[in-house]
Amino acid sequence: MGRLQIAWVGICLAAAMAACGGDEAKVVCGAGTHAEGGSCLADLVSAPVCGTGTERVDGVCVAAALVACGEGTEQVGDECVPINTLACGDGTHEEGGACVPDLATEVAPAVLGRLLYFDTNLSTPAGQSCASCHTPDTGFADPDQQLPVSRGVHPWLFGKRNSPTAAYAAYSPDFHYDAVEGLYQGGQFWDGRALDLVAQAQGPYLNPSEMGTVDAAALVAKVAASDYADLFEAVYGPGSLADAATAYVQVAEAIAAYESSPEVNRFTSKFDFYLAGEATLTAQEASGLALFNASDKGNCAACHLSTAEGTIPALFTDFTYDNLGAPRNPDNPFLGLGPEYNPDGANFIDLGLGGALGETAENGKFKVPTLRNVAATPPYMHNGVFNTLQEVVQFCNARDLGGFPPPEVAENVNTVEVGNLGLTADEVLDLVAFLETLSDGYVPDGS
């Protein structure tokens, strides 16, 4: 019997022999195997058939790359999506084609505060925000400069005072009595009745002559229904809106954080650039600066400090209280309100700090305001009695020489530092020119 060779699954078998002899066998291997050394061995990498939208890469089916995305788009997964071209600021990120606040960053309290500050839904009825009386375009003071005082959310109601600027208020110390100087300093509002910015921010919401919300719970309910409620809880913790009393204070804290931010306190006036050597004062402005600082001339710097304190640029206030003898303003619409809002009617006299403290020695004193942005914030004085800077400077210059109405509060008037400065008409204009260099937003030549 001759040699019999049989190929079966790639293995050479010899019938009646211990080994295969003769020429190498021609092995026929099945699918998924290949011939190697006379045997059929399993393929190590199969070659699958890939479905629609996929392709084989190193033996594996993966999503096929799109041929090309159009201009302004990019491939994300297997889709072309718009490329993010937004330049979102600190504390925000791009989402759905818009910049939205980050939910947890170091700047989140100020970002939340900004949303609260500009939210007109927080008044009752809706329509008034913090910015309604403290607008960036007018130095964070009242944009309605035709009125001597500020109007409330109800158009027939008015506060008794002109809204002061919110800019640089964050630098005011807490309200206190300085025993060394023998005077009160710091705090917020014209009369110092709020300890700090957080206390101040809680006032307007519940004032019926201002934003008119009935109580803290009603205000917090509005915040809970807002688009930024998630951000609020990201800043103050899950469930933080459930406790109205605590959340109301947190609303004020967030607003105070925004009011403490560089967006509100910019230090970008011509005077700032002048000190940095990036701007030059005109001859008139330089004369005004000299008059401002001269103790025997304007002497404005006695209260409106014009030098830096450490790393803080000049704030143009010492945050004290003074009675400049400002006249009563007969055009103040508050005087015409009914007894529910103004029990004294047309006979109302604003005692300022003295009224807040109940101390007659402080009657007629109001907080010394910052002069930063002063050119953008008419009218002037607590009751808006003066409409222009020139009127204010001339009043301080010549109050005691006649030609002005008597003080609203005749006691405690400062007769040492203001009232008879002896400035010429040109010097008054020079001072006004300098004051106009204190407005933020100056752009140096060549910038």
Give 20 or 85, the one with higher predicted confidence.
85
Please report where in the chains the tokens 């230090």 appear, as a residue.
Answer: 267
> E strands along 88-150, which residues?
92-95, 98-101
Please compute the mean of the pLDDT values over residues 268-275 and round it to a whole number. Answer: 98
Q: Are 300 and 431 found together in one domain?
A: yes
- DSSP letter at 421 equals -
123 pLDDT above the threshold of 60: yes
Res 415: pLDDT = 96
Q: Can you read off the two tokens belonging to residue 15?
A: 């019938």
Q: Nearest Cα to 382, choosing from 98, 123, 163?
A: 163
Q: State the pLDDT at residue 12.
A: 33
* Mean pLDDT value across residues 415-444: 97
109/250 Cα distance (integer angstroms)? 9
**Cα(132)–Cα(140) distance, integer angstroms:** 9
Mean pLDDT of 317-346: 97
Q: Which domain holds residue 223?
A: 95-259
Q: What is the mean pLDDT of residues 288-311?
A: 97
Average pLDDT taken over every residue of the chain = 86
Q: Which residue has the higher pLDDT, 315 or 95?
A: 315
- Of 368 and 46, which is predicted with more confidence? 368
Q: Which of 72-76, 118-122, 134-138 has the lowest mean pLDDT?
A: 72-76
**Are both 188 and 235 inside the same structural domain?**
yes
**Residue 52 banded pLDDT, cuts 50, 70, 90:** low
Q: Is the pLDDT of residue 62 over 50?
A: yes
Dihedral pair phi/psi, residue 425, rounded to 5°:
-60, -40
- Average pLDDT estimate for 68-89: 61
Please report whether residue 88 resides in a domain.
no
- Is 352 found in the same domain as 286? yes
* pLDDT above 50 for 164: yes
pLDDT(24) > 70? no
| pLDDT for 299 beyond 60 | yes
In a domain, 64, yes or no: no
Residues 94 and 87: their CA atoms lie apart, in Å, by 8
Looking at 22-36, 162-176, 405-419, which range is the least confident one? 22-36
Q: How many domains does the chain have?
A: 3
Q: Examine the domain organization and report whether 300 and 408 are in the same domain.
A: yes
Domain boundary among 259, 283, 312: 259
In a domain, residue 329? The reply is yes
How many other C-beta atoms lie within 10 A of the C-beta of residue 35? 14
Asked if 275 and 281 count as a contact pair (C-beta separation under 8 A), the reply is no
Q: Which residue, 230, 259, 288, sits at the end of a domain?
A: 259
For residue 86, how far is the Cα from the chain centroid?
Answer: 20
Same domain assignment for residues 185 and 153: yes
Query: Within a domain: residue 65?
Result: no
> Per the domain annotation, does 78 fall within a domain?
no
Tell me phi and psi for residue 98, to 5 degrees: -135, 160
| The two structure tokens encoding residue 52 | 């629609």
Q: Which residues contact 410 (CB under 8 A, 6 or more apart)?
A: 325, 364
Count other C-beta atoms under 10 Å from residue 432's C-beta: 21
Angle between helix axes 389-398 and 425-435 (nearest 10 degrees) is 130
> Which of helix, strand or coil describes residue 6?
strand
Band of residue 266 on the pLDDT scale cut at 50, 70, 90: very high
Domain boundary among 213, 238, 259: 259
**What pLDDT score does 1 carry?**
44
Nearest to 425, CA basis, from 317, 331, 284: 284
4-8, 60-64, 138-142 — most confident range: 138-142
- How far apart CA 191 and CA 366 sit, in angstroms, is 6
**Cα–Cα distance, 149 to 432 (Å, whole number):** 23
| Whether 219 and 241 share a structural domain | yes
Give yes or no for residue 252 having a pLDDT over 80.
yes
Instruction: Tell me: pLDDT of 254 over 90.
Output: yes
pLDDT-based confidence at residue 107 (cuts at 50, 70, 90): very low
Note the maximum CA span of the chain: 148
Q: Per-residue pLDDT for 377 more than 70?
A: yes
How many Cβ atoms are within 10 Å of 127's Cβ, its own excluded? 14
Whether residue 264 lies inside any domain: the answer is: no
Percent of the chain whose pLDDT exceeds 90: 75
Is the domain of 352 the same as that of 218? no
The DSSP symbol for 303 reads T
DSSP H helical segments within 96-182, as ranges? 108-117
Indicate the DSSP class of residue 84.
-
Residue 395 covered by a domain: yes
Is 122 a residue whose pLDDT tops 80?
A: yes
pLDDT of res. 7: 34
Residue 309 — pLDDT band, cuts 50, 70, 90?
very high
| pLDDT > 90? residue 25 | no
Mean pLDDT of 3-29: 39
80 assigned to some structural domain: no
Residue 21's pLDDT band (boundaries 50, 70, 90)?
very low
**Whole-number pLDDT of residue 183:** 97
Regarding whether 278 and 237 lie in a shared domain, the answer is: no
C-alpha to C-alpha distance for 37 and 53, rounded to whole angstroms: 39
Q: Where are the alpha helices (DSSP H) in 294-443?
A: 353-357, 389-398, 425-435
For residue 46, give the nearest of 59, 57, 28 by alpha carbon: 59
Residue 409 phi, psi dihedral angles, 5° rounding: -125, 110
The larger pLDDT score, comparing residue 78 to residue 210, is at 210
pLDDT score of 278: 97
pLDDT over 70 percentage in the chain = 76
pLDDT tops 80 at residue 188: yes
Confidence band for 108, pLDDT divided at 50, 70 and 90: confident
Across 44-58, 214-228, 429-443, least confident range? 44-58
Decide: helix, strand or coil at residue 440.
Answer: strand
Kindly state whether residues 287 and 345 are assigned to the same domain: yes
395, 396, 321, 332: which is closest to 365 by C-alpha? 321
Could you tell me if 187 and 251 lie in one domain?
yes
> What is the predicted pLDDT for the residue at 6?
32
Instruction: Determine the Cα–Cα distance for residues 230 and 191; give it in Å rounded to an integer.
Output: 36
Which residues are 6's β-sheet partners?
A: 13
Residue 72 predicted with pLDDT over 90: no
Residues 226/241, Cβ–Cβ less than 8 Å:
no
Q: Quick one: 132 and 237 in the same domain?
A: yes
Same domain, 35 and 180: no
**Contact predicate 365/412, CB 8 Å:** yes
CA atoms within 13 A on the CB side of 114: 15
pLDDT, residue 167, reads 98
Strand, coil or helix: what is 196? coil
pLDDT for res 364: 98
Q: What is the DSSP letter of 118?
A: T
DSSP string, 236-268: H-TTGGGSHHHHHHHHHHHHHHHHTSTTTS---
Q: CATH number for the domain including 241?
A: 1.10.760.10
**Residue 168 CA neighbour count, 13 Å, CB half:** 25
Q: Is the pLDDT of residue 388 over 70?
A: yes
Least Cα distance to 121 among 36, 258, 219, 11 occurs for 219
pLDDT reported for residue 9: 34
Q: What is the dihedral of CA 414, 417, 421, 427, to 10 degrees?
A: -120
